[in-house]
């Protein structure tokens, strides 16, 4: 991708006051590339390089969905089976299926306190069952027709994966998805070494939410100040299945490479086609508004379809995107909390990369 407009992207990132960024891309012919920007650690002055890790946040749902599809291919899970078949001790609407959860058509509402729950180095990571127990699930709520994005759907899928596989969620994803893909750099725990420091604007509503809903987290998560930003200490998301993956931009390329393949690989070809087909309509993305597949969100620019998943939380923002018709997959990782403006910036960068020779 020799035409990548590095200077244009750098200007855009500086204009948006992005302290750190890493971008990686892969093409269907196997070629790939990286672009890095900024300072990973403002205290030590460590610069971002290709090995610098970032939080992917909700882009992790693509890996959770892939793990579910591995179980489907093994005959252990059926997409249109009620979730109660697998989690019989929990209360769900009898019509709620695995497919409803994958496509955000469950009708269930999120529990913000559960989404914000994190742990730090030295803390014991909760199981998927403990994390799921923090979500308020109304068993009277029937599934919906149109998609409405919710983290609760993938919190349930995380427990499904643990129960059906018989091993902890993170271990199954590592053994059945990451290792076969060759994505062993990715982890579900951020211990700080080699990771970019997260930044939150000091007037961000995120800090107010933390103080209000999880005051202990708000107290422990602050590291210091970097200009207009509050910097954060390393932390890990309690509900790993909704957004727990951490790694360098290049570490997320193997999944994109797999999804660009039209033959069998880690997943069978027909499974990948189903994942990248619109299953439900609804504006589930910040920029992608055409509907949702299995895990992936669908967007359109003019007549061109793309598939993506944004990610964002305290201190980090990401964009994972596929242009199947162009044979292009890319991931954009930013060391600053997500906003609508930053998601639109990621969209512009992705479109610039798609149109570059």
Number of domain units in the chain: 1
Does any domain span residue 210? yes
The two tokens of residue 284 are 């589930």
Does any domain span residue 325? yes
Query: For 81-109, how does the pLDDT look when each residue is reduced to its tens digit (9 = 90+)?
Result: 999 999 999 999 999 999 999 999 999 99
Give one DSSP letter per residue of 195-237, joined into a string.
Answer: BPPPEEETT-HHHHHHHHH-HHHHHHHEEEEETTEEEE---EE
Does any domain span residue 306? yes
Confidence at residue 1, expressed as pLDDT on a 0 to 100 scale = 42
Dihedral sign (CA 91, 157, 101, 236): positive
Does any domain span residue 146? yes
Does any domain span residue 117? yes
Confidence at residue 214, expressed as pLDDT on a 0 to 100 scale = 94
Confidence at residue 84, expressed as pLDDT on a 0 to 100 scale = 98
pTM over 0.75: yes
Confidence at residue 15, expressed as pLDDT on a 0 to 100 scale = 95
Q: Under 8 Å CB-to-CB from 314, ≥6 apart: which residues?
A: 116, 118, 198, 200, 206, 210, 221, 232, 235, 337
CATH number, residue 294? 3.40.710.10
Q: Report how far residue 47's alpha carbon sits from residue 197's, in angstroms, rounded to the nearest whole number.
A: 11
Does any domain span residue 122? yes
Does any domain span residue 1? no
Query: For 175-198, how does the pLDDT look when each residue is reduced to its tens digit (9 = 90+)?
Result: 999 999 999 999 999 988 899 999
Confidence at residue 3, expressed as pLDDT on a 0 to 100 scale = 63
Edge-to-edge strand order for the sheet containing 229-232? 199-201, 229-232, 222-226
Confidence at residue 357, expressed as pLDDT on a 0 to 100 scale = 67
For residue 300, how far is the Cα from the chain centroid? 20
Domain that holds residue 292: 6-355
């Amino acid at each position: 991708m020799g035409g990548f407009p590095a200077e244009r992207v750098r200007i855009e990132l500086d204009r948006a006051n992005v302290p750190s960024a890493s971008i990686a891309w892969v093409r269907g012919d196997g070629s790939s590339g990286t672009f890095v920007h900024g300072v990973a650690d403002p205290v030590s002055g460590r610069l971002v390089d290709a090995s610098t890790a970032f939080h992917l946040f909700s882009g992790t749902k693509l890996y959770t969905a892939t793990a579910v599809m591995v179980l489907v291919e093994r005959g252990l899970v059926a997409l249109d089976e009620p979730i109660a078949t697998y989690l019989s001790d929990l209360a769900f609407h009898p019509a709620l299926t695995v497919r409803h959860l994958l496509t955000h058509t469950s009708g269930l509402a999120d529990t913000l306190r559960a989404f914000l729950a994190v742990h730090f180095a030295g803390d014991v990571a909760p199981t998927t069952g403990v994390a799921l127990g923090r979500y308020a699930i109304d068993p009277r709520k029937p599934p919906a027709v149109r998609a409405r994005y919710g983290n609760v759907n993938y919190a349930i899928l995380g427990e499904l994966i643990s129960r059906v596989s018989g091993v902890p969620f993170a271990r199954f994803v590592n053994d059945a998805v990451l290792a076969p893909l060759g994505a062993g750099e990715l982890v579900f725990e951020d211990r700080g070494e080699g990771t970019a420091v997260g930044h939150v604007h000091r007037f961000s509503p995120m800090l107010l939410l933390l103080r209000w809903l999880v005051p202990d987290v708000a107290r422990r998560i602050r590291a210091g100040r970097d200009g207009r930003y509050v910097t954060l200490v390393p932390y890990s998301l309690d509900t790993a299945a909704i957004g727990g993956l951490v790694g360098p931009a290049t570490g997320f390329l193997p999944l994109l490479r797999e999804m660009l393949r039209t033959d069998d690989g880690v997943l069978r070809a027909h499974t990948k086609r189903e994942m990248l087909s619109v299953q439900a309509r609804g504006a589930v993305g910040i920029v992608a508004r055409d509907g949702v597949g299995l895990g992936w969100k669908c967007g359109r620019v003019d007549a061109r379809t793309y598939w993506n998943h944004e990610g964002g939380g305290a201190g980090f923002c990401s964009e994972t995107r596929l242009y199947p018709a162009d044979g292009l997959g890319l991931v954009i990782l930013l060391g600053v909390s997500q906003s609508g403006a930053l998601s639109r910036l990621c969209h512009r960068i992705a479109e610039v990369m798609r149109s570059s020779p």
